[in-house]
Amino acid sequence: MEDKEIIGLFVNRDEEAIFAFKENFEAYCRKIALNILRNEEDAEECFNDTCFTLWNLIPPNSPENLKAFAGRITHNIALNLFRKRFTQKRGGGEAEIALSEFDECIPGTETVEETIEAKEITKIIEKFLYSNPPEKRGIFIRRYWYMFSVSEIAESYGFSEGKIKSILFRMRKELKKELEREGF
């Protein structure tokens, strides 16, 4: 079923929308959640929360790309769940490692000014990513958006873990310089 058809089901409040969405996007959303949370039950909970959120957001929203829209919702729900669990456990997972690698580049956001600043930083990051070759961009996104482990990325690209770590290190360093040049 096409995105527009599924969105139409959501708009019409047809419960079939959830089944169609699940059939088309469950594996994708659960993979995002699993990479962040590293727990099947949490990933399932995250997917269910994504379905509930979509039910509440469509309408009034009508996303052009349902996969990207759902992926972003899943990502945010998973990160929130991770933060909640992490503050309780203080355990060490892949998401914690990936986020800590990124800490030196980007500060957290709390105030309105910092939220506006975060949007500007997002634009700079997007510009930075698109200035890099697709392979490097893919490695960066897999690590910091999808929270793949270095070994998973290395395996998918056929590179050594050392090469992936080196690429990520250099890209973070370049991104930091870019952010500093832009006044962040």
Q: What is the mean pLDDT of each run of 10 residues along the chain (184 residues)?
A: 93 95 96 91 95 93 91 92 69 58 56 70 90 95 89 95 96 92 84
The residue among 133, 139, 128, 129 whose CA lies nearest residue 163 is: 139
Domains identified in the chain and CATH numbers: 3-89 (1.10.1740), 96-181 (1.10.10.10)
For residue 28, the one-letter residue type is Y
Instruction: Please tell me the predicted confidence (pLDDT) of residue 184.
Output: 78
Please identify which residue in the block is written with the tokens 């669990």: 85
Full-model pTM:
0.68
- What local confidence, expressed as pLDDT, does residue 114 receive? 63
Instruction: Categorise residue 56: left if φ over 0, alpha if ψ from -120 to 50, beta otherwise.
Output: alpha
Residue 90: its pLDDT value, please? Answer: 47
